[in-house]
Amino acid sequence: RFTIYEITLQNQEPNVEFLNRREDLDGFRRAYRGALGAIVSDHGGLEQIMLFPAAPAPIAIACGQEIMPKAHPTLTIYDNVKGIFLRAITVNSKEDL
């Protein structure tokens, strides 16, 4: 069983030019931290979050930076390669601690 969480733009259609100001990235970081908190709260003991991002590079980097090693589960990021999702990287693996 899977639960899907989505972070998306508010009051505008997703587009490649939405990330124009530092405040845009800061707003994403706040939303992402809130989502991580909700996921951990809703699913105690969760070992892994599988992330399928459709976002520019600064947001992808922020996703890894916001992970807290002792508070968040492993984050496995997938990349869409010609319509197939492939595991790209794993962050915060308990094996790394």
User: How does 27-60 read in b/e, with b if 16+ C-beta sit within 10 Å?
Assistant: ebeeebeeebeeebeeeeeeeebebeeebeeebb
Q: Which two tokens stand for residue 77?
A: 């990021």
Written as tens digits, the pLDDT of the chain (97 aa) is 789 999 998 888 887 788 889 999 999 999 999 999 999 999 988 999 999 998 888 998 999 999 999 889 999 999 999 999 999 999 998 776 5
Query: Across-strand partners of 89?
Result: 77
pTM of the model: 0.86
Judge whether 67 and 75 are in contact, CB under 8 Å.
Answer: yes
